[in-house]
Amino acid sequence: MTETKKILRALAGETLDTPPIWMMRQAGRYLPEYRATRAQAGDFLSLCYNSELAAEVTLQPIRRYGFDAAILFADILLLPQALGADLWFVTGEGPRLSTIETQADFDRLTPVSEIDAVLSPVYDTVRLLSRELPEETTLIGFAGMPWTVATYMVAGRGTPDQGPAHALKDSNPALFDQIIDLLSEATVEYLSRQIEAGAEVVKLFDSWAGSLKGDDFDRYALEPARKIIAALKARHPGVPVIAFPRGAGARYEGFARATGADCVALDDGVTPVWAAAHVQKDGCVQGNLKSSHMVTGGQALVDETRRIVDAFGKGPHIFNLGHGITPDADPENVQLMIDTVRGR
């Protein structure tokens, strides 16, 4: 069958006249309809585990903007929760988790074979979405990458420099490697379940890859990505994988080749002209527009959007932001970005 969904065509390496478009965190607090549904759910985690409402917020940006892809509404920290970590969100501050500092903390975690007891509502969300999405819209599942998830599990919260995870990896590499291996195995199971439920593409978020330097980048970002992608491809041949090693800088070059990713998501730290020459030569790229344009709008948004579309115009490209849209963004600026990409 010839593929008709634009996102899947770009991921297969096709150069399209107009790039397909979606947006990281497209279901989020900048949308009044999201805030209303979240209030109905009670809090963020209750929303993630309420399949009907999670499907509803996933669909909201599709209805409003007609994006080419929907991304499952969930969070990368649901997996550590399923592995037995305590998880809660402090309003205005972010996530909090029980910490892993010792072998004994690690040994108390739940076996990978038991994660579905917590995560089955997420698979139900995927099933609902694959029934309800318009036929031209691609459904993307996702997980956090082991390094990024480990930074939260070790520190018990988000950290500006991922200091606690770096300290544990350097002082107790044997323990740290066990955490990475457990998360790698759990991630393959979690994503396989999402694919079986109807996810057509999966995205791997390594939001803190940029703090890994030199050999550490190979060991904790590149190698886990290679292993996870190989395991997924063995089980689900033909399901494309998008990798997002945020902050990778020069290490973006060669990342797709080394890991087997079908597409690399770019943050806003590289120029589109450089990335076209050094990253897109190996396949599809996605991303790069600074999220702050969704706050500031105007001619700068239009100019930057066009610059990215032009730079990536000769190869496979999915238009997206360099990171998630922020709560202070103006929904009208999102429409302006879409109209600019689609030439209206």
Q: Which of 44, 231, 236, 342 binds ligand CP3 (CB under 6 A)?
A: 44
Of 15, 12, 73, nearest to 317 by C-alpha is 15
Residue nearest to ligand CP3 (CB): 207
Q: To the nearest whole angstrom, how small is the minimum distance from the Cβ of residue 285 to ligand CP3?
A: 18
Residue 251 bears catalytic tag: no
Per the annotation, the verdict on 75 as an active-site residue is yes
Q: What are the strands, taking DSSP E only, across 145-270? A: 201-206, 241-245, 263-266
Residue of 25, 193, 246, 251 marked catalytic: 25
Q: Least distance (Å) from ligand CP3 to the CB of residue 51?
A: 14
Site for ligand CP3 in 198-227 (CB under 6 A): 205, 207
Examine residue 50 and tell whether it contacts ligand CP3 (CB under 6 A): no
- Rounded CA separation 170/215 (Å): 13
Catalytic, out of 75, 105, 116, 124? 75
Is 193 a residue that touches ligand CP3 (CB under 6 A)? no
As measured in angstroms, the least distance from the Cβ of 191 to ligand CP3 is 13
Let me know: does 343 contact 18? Beta carbons within 8 Å.
Answer: yes
Output the CA–CA distances (angstroms, integers) from residue 247 to 40, 207, 244, 269, in the order listed. 36, 8, 9, 7
Residue of 9, 30, 34, 38 marked catalytic:
38
| Residue 189 DSSP SS3 | helix
Q: Which of 158, 269, 313, 331 binds ligand CP3 (CB under 6 A)?
A: 158
Contact assessment for residue 218 and residue 257, using Cβ atoms and an 8 Å cutoff: no
* Closest to ligand CP3 by CB, 18 or 326: 326
Of residues 320-339, which lie at the interface with ligand CP3 (CB under 6 A)?
A: 324
Q: Exactly one of 34, 152, 190, 252 is catalytic; which is it?
A: 152
294 or 311: whose CB is closer to ligand CP3?
A: 294
Determine if 26 is a binding residue for ligand CP3 (CB under 6 A).
Answer: yes
Distances (CA, A) of 28 to 35, 44, 109, 242: 8, 10, 31, 21
Q: Which stretch binds ligand CP3 (CB under 6 A): 18-26, 106-114, 130-138, 228-236?
A: 18-26
Q: Which of 265, 304, 260 is nearest to 284 (CA)?
A: 265
Give the three-class secondary structure for 142: strand
CA atoms within 13 A on the CB side of 136: 9
Reduced to 3 states, what is the DSSP secondary structure of residue 175? helix
Residue 206's DSSP bridge partners are 245
**Catalytic annotation on 152?**
yes
Active-site positions read 25, 29, 38, 75, 152
Query: Interface residues with ligand CP3 (CB under 6 A)?
Result: 24-29, 38, 44, 71, 73, 75-77, 94-95, 142, 144, 158, 205, 207, 324
